[in-house]
Amino acid sequence: STQGKSRSNISDHFQPLTLEQKLYVAQREVRETQQDREKLKVKSEKTKDNYKASMKEAELRLADIRKAKNDFERRLVKPTKDNTLEMKEPEKVLQYIEDKLKVTKLVFLTKHVTLMSAELSNDIVKVRQMLAKIEEELQHAEKEHSAAEALTHKLRRQLGDYQAPDITEYMHVKDKYKKLKQSIHTWERKVGIAEMAFKTHTKVWNKQVGTSSGEHQIPIKLPQIAEHNQ
C-alpha cells in the first residue's frame, strides 16, 4: 500500500548511526560543553569584578564625605559649657546641610550597592551550580566517550582477526554438493524406471497364469526390502 511504502521510505531515510558517527557526535558535544563552561566562567569572573569595583567606589565616596564632615565640624562648630554645639559662623549652615545631604545620598547609595551585591551573589551561586552541573554532564560524556572508544577498538581488533574461508576449500565443498545433487537425480530416475518395469512384468505374469474365467490367480510375493533410516 501507499502507507506501507511511505513508512518504508521513512525507515530507509533515517538509518541508525554507526559507531564512528556516535563517537563523533559525543566528541562534538564534549567540545561544546567545554566551550559553554568557559563562557560561563568568564561571565562569572566579570560580574564579580564589577561588583568589587562598585563596592570600592562606594567606600571611597563614603570616606571623602566623612572627611569633609569632620573638617566642617572642626572648623565651624564649637562646644559650649552645657555640652551643646554652637555654630562659629552661622552663614556656613547651608554648607553643613549640603554635606548632610551628601551623607544621606551616600547611605542610599550604600543600600543600593548592598542590594546589588546580594543579587550578584545569588547570580554567582546560580552560575556555580550551573558550572557544577555542566562539569557532571561533561564527566558523563567523557565516560561515554571512553566506552565508545573501547568498543571501537574491540570491534576493529575482531575485524582484524577475522579470516575468510579458503577459496580452495570452498570450491571443493561446492563441487561435492553438485556431485551429490547429480547422484540423487540419477537415483530418482533409476527408481522410476524400476517401478515401471515391475508394473509391466506383473501384468504379463498375471495374464500367463490366470484363466479366462478369472479363477485362482497365483499371487506374487516380492522380496521384502529393508528400509534404511538415515
Q: Where are the domains of the chain?
A: 14-163, 167-199
Percent of the chain surpassing pLDDT 70: 68
CA 33-37-38 angle, to 5 degrees, is: 120
pLDDT over 80 (residue 15)? no
Q: Which of 110, 100, 109, 106 is nearest to 69 (CA)?
A: 100
At 228, the pLDDT band (50, 70, 90 cuts) reads very low
Distant-in-sequence, close-in-space partners of 20: CB < 8 Å, separation ≥ 6: 152
Whole-prediction pTM value? 0.30
| Tens digit of each residue's pLDDT (9 = 90 or more) over 145-183 | 788 888 888 888 877 776 666 788 778 888 888 888 888
Separation in Å, CA 68 to CA 58, 59, 75: 15, 14, 11
Contact assessment for residue 145 and residue 27, using Cβ atoms and an 8 Å cutoff:
yes
- What is residue 118's predicted lDDT score, i.e. its pLDDT? 83
Give the whole-angstrom CA distance, residue 54 versus residue 117.
9
Coil, strand or helix: which one is 181?
helix
pLDDT over 70 (residue 216)? no
pLDDT over 60 (residue 211)? no
Beta bridge partners of 79: 85
The amino acid sitting at 204 is V
